[in-house]
Structure 1
Amino acid sequence: MAATIRVILGQDNASKLTLPTGIPASLEELQGEIQRHFGLTEQVRLQYRDIEFDNEFMNLTCTSEIRDKSTVKVIYLPNIAGTDTGPHHTASLRALEDNSSFSSAADTEILSSPESAASGSSLRSQPWPNIFPIPQFNYEVEVQLQMASHAFQNSGTLLSPSTKLKSDILDGLASEIIKFKVYPSSADFDDVALALIKKHPCLKEQGSVSGYYGWKISLKYKMANYRTRLRNIGCTELSINAMKENRGTTQGPNQVKKPRKAEVTYCPDYPVGETKDSLEEERQALLIEVKKKNSQLIKTKMEKTFSYRRQEILQDMPFITEFGERWPALFSESEVNAEFTRITTVPLLSTFMSRLDRHSAQLMKVFKKKGRTAGRNLGLIMAAMDKDPMVETRRDCFLKALCVNLNESSENFIKEYLDVELATTPMEPMVLELYLVRHEEAEPGEPLADVGVIIEGVGVLRDLKYLANGWAVLLGLIYSLNLNYPKEMKQTFEFIQKVLMGLDGNRLSTKVQVLKNRLQE
């Protein structure tokens, strides 16, 4: 059922937001919807009016605290990176300074935690925006664009920029692009060039169907040059791709280390003031805290050593046994969730489950239309839900059915065992798999005896209770360890990444695109 909320964006700036599917199940989804709808690129937090405290604004921690016609206020968080956070952030700061009605809410603001501060300024905090924010150019450029805009409005005259003006504009765009991606795709360049001529129509190109094709090509070359400059000053995300050249070996285009699964933070630099040696000391101290099971210190040190751990994965590509000995704290459900969020900015478990639940009704309609052998197999899988209506069982069934619908076999990826069998026959070691262990006489709805993840023949996680939980955690490990998706499940993982999780959802394979279209019918 649709819901409408009032969103306060700043002083004298409030808008209505309609949510077609109602209030989202998770806070992260609501926050993401607000950011997408209003084009916010800053880090934000939400507050709501609490009737128990005379309608004062309080921090929103759960979407169950709001309902249809509620009021939500956006709090713009301090930008640790020290970069320009755009006009929304500037407006919000002025509102905090000038409007006393916001001062009471300021008491409830939580400044950035020690963990986030320790992670350093190299971590990106936002994925690629739906609408690219064209930056404020230098004064000279803005004056010329303003004059050209007046001429365009009065007579429709398009600007033919000089070489220097065009170079300055491209430099400004490249500096903004790098805040989101080092290696933008062709579609990303389209986004930037289109946003440029929409904000400055005088820059539209004559004779071009799109009006921006020349800008797009020029921007590609500018970004290549910009990457070279960053590599020369030691930007880690780029210098890792210079190592093979320095060793005298050839480096083909497929060997370049760059984000391939919509990673927002792929290879961050060390935090300010930290070195490889100091972070190695932190890692050794982390091993001690793991033995003590001090969860709070483990969380803090894992956050601080993220860049060190990430560079080790990308540069050294260690075996899982070796890496597990060095970083045992990573192999827990909570830390996999945290690591995935550091890499993508998207919460793993809450997003995975809520999006799967949201699509379940439409997925059921799609599955029922499937015929022949696939249809019969889907019918058998779906029949299990009639015996056990629990939400966990439904999720497990939908994931299995998803594989069948995409014509992929999960037999070599999901291994099922009975607990009595394992007493005499050990598990078959696989490169990458999920395993399920059932009690021989388990009742419907009863959790599985064990659900775990095997990587390179090593059991890295267990006691995950349900298949859906195991699948989500495995996705997090694939990102955390920079692994490829298993070939036999490539389409299924693409659907989970791009449709369920919303990561790089603009470019889909044919099968996944067809399924996505059917979900929207």
Structure 2
Amino acid sequence: EELPQKAVLKLVRSQSDASSIASDDTIILPHAMTPERTQRWPDVCLVPAFSYEVELILVEGNLNHERTGKTLKLSRGQNHDILETLASKMHSFKAYPSDKDISVVAEALVTTHPCLKEPGTQTGWYGLKNSLKFKMGNFHTKLSRAGYKVNFLPNFPKGEDGSSLERQRLQIVDELMQTTFSLRRKEVINDDLPVGEILERWPALKMESQICAEFHRITNINLKNHFYSELDRHVPRLQSLFRKKAARTGKVSEVLDQLFNTYDRQVIDVNVLRAAVLRALPTYLHEDDSGFQHIIKTCNESALSDELQIDNIPVGLLLISATSTDCGILPEKVAVVLEGNTVVDFPTFSDAFVMLFALIYGLHLSYPKDLANTFDFIQKVFDGP
């Protein structure tokens, strides 16, 4: 009968030398063994197949145990094969199985192979469980020596999940940013560091939550709530003014008319209304926003530098879309650019605009010269009555 092929190193020895088949000091890793865990811990523990020789011994031992009740005494090499196989299988599910997990495996082994039950113990597998715990530690050492990443995909700590750990991460970031606020303000105000260097030193300022938090630390104002509250209060009046202007003649009126005709074709919601007003404001104030708002049609973000030299943009917004025919009106996302650095992007124009406003404030930057009136107006709107 043809033996099944297995990617293992097999040593053939005489019967008298069978006890030294393998040594715990020797690192022999099957080609199929990988440290990555792609399976979940099973609800029902299934004992894996061992080497061909060990399986034959276990079959014979189980038959003999059924007839006589005698247990099987394994050689050192046979015991090593069983423990090594079980450790590898457990590691494929969990890098660090709990005491309960190991107990389940030990119990499953003696249930499947009753000839391995330990006489004189209440469970029949207590010693086996301890051997498995030791073998798991030895297994991690072997993987580490072989160059594997033992903690490539560690399990969540007990009682934690992805959501709870994410909350802790954000809390830690917020606490550290709060503690280092004075140092950061010194660098921004006194040291006058370039934006790129500031963002490299404080990468959390690329997070929306920390942009808002930094603005609150400086002004003690809830940025988005206050900004949108004031903007929404003025939107009806501003839109009425802009539409009246669009109905007249002249270059400004033509641009506004085209803008609102495009917006009127969209499904109107609060984000569309906000974007319409913010996009129309520079035109109404006779300011040129061509150096501030850049329309990019691309499906490859890495191609942005080919589409536009953003290094030359001191302060601006990139309106990015791969498919939309109205990219300039309803882009798929809008990126904030400061001194040639793409800081963060948002799904709506109004969100990107308010974050840009906050970053200008937080990084002590000047308003774009071509849009001085626009940003002064936004500042007055933000300050409220």
Report the TM-score, using the length of structure 1 for normalisation. Answer: 0.38
| Structure 2 Cα separation of the partners of residues 337 and 403 of structure 1 | 25
| Structure 1 Cα separation of the partners of residues 184 and 167 of structure 2 | 21
Is it true that 1:373 corresponds to 2:255 in the alignment? no
Please name the residue that 2:277 is paired with: 398
Please name the residue that 1:493 is paired with: 375
Checking the alignment, whether the CA contact within 8 Å between 2:255 and 2:283 is kept in structure 1 is yes
Please name the residue that 1:314 is paired with: 189
Deviation at 1:443, TM superposition (A): 8.4
Counterpart of 2:261 in structure 1: which amino acid? A
Checking the alignment, whether the CA contact within 8 Å between 1:400 and 1:410 is kept in structure 2 is no
User: What SS is found at the alignment partner of 1:411?
Assistant: coil
Checking the alignment, whether the CA contact within 8 Å between 1:406 and 1:491 is kept in structure 2 is yes
CA 452–374 in structure 1, closer or farther in 2 if over 3 Å, else same: same
Is it true that 1:410 corresponds to 2:289 in the alignment? yes
Checking the alignment, whether the CA contact within 8 Å between 1:419 and 1:449 is kept in structure 2 is no
Please name the residue that 2:209 is paired with: 334
CA 377–442 in structure 1, closer or farther in 2 if over 3 Å, else same: closer
Counterpart of 1:376 in structure 2: which amino acid? E
| Structure 2 Cα separation of the partners of residues 369 and 443 of structure 1 | 23
Which of 453, 472, 475 matches 2:357? Answer: 475
Deviation at 1:306, TM superposition (A): 1.2
CA 431–294 in structure 1, closer or farther in 2 if over 3 Å, else same: same
Deviation at 1:334, TM superposition (A): 1.1
| Structure 1 Cα separation of the partners of residues 377 and 255 of structure 2 | 20
Report the TM-score, using the length of structure 2 for normalisation. Answer: 0.51
Counterpart of 1:361 in structure 2: which amino acid? P
1:161-172 aligned within 5 A? none
| Structure 2 Cα separation of the partners of residues 421 and 373 of structure 1 | 35
Please name the residue that 1:508 is paired with: none
| Structure 2 Cα separation of the partners of residues 339 and 470 of structure 1 | 16
Checking the alignment, whether the CA contact within 8 Å between 2:263 and 2:276 is kept in structure 1 is yes
Which of 312, 335, 356 matches 2:231? Answer: 356
Deviation at 1:482, TM superposition (A): 0.4
Which of 310, 328, 334 matches 1:451? Answer: 334
| Structure 2 Cα separation of the partners of residues 320 and 394 of structure 1 | 31
Checking the alignment, whether the CA contact within 8 Å between 2:275 and 2:349 is kept in structure 1 is yes
Determine what percentage of the aligned residue pairs are the same residue: 32
Counterpart of 1:386 in structure 2: which amino acid? D
Deviation at 1:395, TM superposition (A): 1.1
Please name the residue that 2:383 is paired with: 502
Deviation at 1:426, TM superposition (A): 3.5
Deviation at 1:491, TM superposition (A): 0.5
Please name the residue that 2:298 is paired with: 419
| Structure 1 Cα separation of the partners of residues 318 and 229 of structure 2 | 23
Alpha-carbon displacement from aligned partner over 1:348-393 (angstroms, at most 9, x marks no partner) = 1122222222111111221133232212211111122321112212
1:117-132 aligned within 5 A? none
Please name the residue that 2:170 is paired with: 295
1:149-298 aligned within 5 A? 294-298=169-173
Greater percentage in helix: 2
Deviation at 1:421, TM superposition (A): 7.9
Alpha-carbon displacement from aligned partner over 1:247-297 (angstroms, at most 9, x marks no partner) = xxxxxxxxxxxxxxxxxxxxxxxxxxxxxxxxxxxxxxxxxxxx9981011
- Paired residues, what number? 213
User: What SS is found at the alignment partner of 1:409?
Assistant: coil
Counterpart of 1:328 in structure 2: which amino acid? P
| Structure 2 Cα separation of the partners of residues 421 and 294 of structure 1 | 30
1:13-162 aligned within 5 A? none
Checking the alignment, whether the CA contact within 8 Å between 2:242 and 2:256 is kept in structure 1 is yes
| Structure 1 Cα separation of the partners of residues 235 and 330 of structure 2 | 21
Greater percentage in strand: 1
User: What SS is found at the alignment partner of 2:294?
Assistant: strand
Checking the alignment, whether the CA contact within 8 Å between 1:384 and 1:397 is kept in structure 2 is no
Checking the alignment, whether the CA contact within 8 Å between 2:324 and 2:331 is kept in structure 1 is no
Please name the residue that 1:435 is paired with: 318
Counterpart of 1:387 in structure 2: which amino acid? R
CA 364–447 in structure 1, closer or farther in 2 if over 3 Å, else same: closer
| Structure 2 Cα separation of the partners of residues 309 and 489 of structure 1 | 28
| Structure 2 Cα separation of the partners of residues 448 and 293 of structure 1 | 33
Counterpart of 1:400 in structure 2: which amino acid? R
CA 443–375 in structure 1, closer or farther in 2 if over 3 Å, else same: closer
Alpha-carbon displacement from aligned partner over 1:319-363 (angstroms, at most 9, x marks no partner) = 122211211112211111111122122221122222222111111
Checking the alignment, whether the CA contact within 8 Å between 2:231 and 2:382 is kept in structure 1 is no
Deviation at 1:450, TM superposition (A): 2.5
Deviation at 1:449, TM superposition (A): 2.9
| Structure 2 Cα separation of the partners of residues 421 and 310 of structure 1 | 36
Checking the alignment, whether the CA contact within 8 Å between 2:317 and 2:337 is kept in structure 1 is yes
Which segments of 5 or more consecutive residues in structure 1 lack a partner in the other structure?
1-290, 506-521
| Structure 1 Cα separation of the partners of residues 184 and 258 of structure 2 | 44
| Structure 2 Cα separation of the partners of residues 383 and 346 of structure 1 | 36
Checking the alignment, whether the CA contact within 8 Å between 2:243 and 2:260 is kept in structure 1 is no
| Structure 2 Cα separation of the partners of residues 469 and 410 of structure 1 | 18
Deviation at 1:312, TM superposition (A): 1.4
Alpha-carbon displacement from aligned partner over 1:222-264 (angstroms, at most 9, x marks no partner) = xxxxxxxxxxxxxxxxxxxxxxxxxxxxxxxxxxxxxxxxxxx
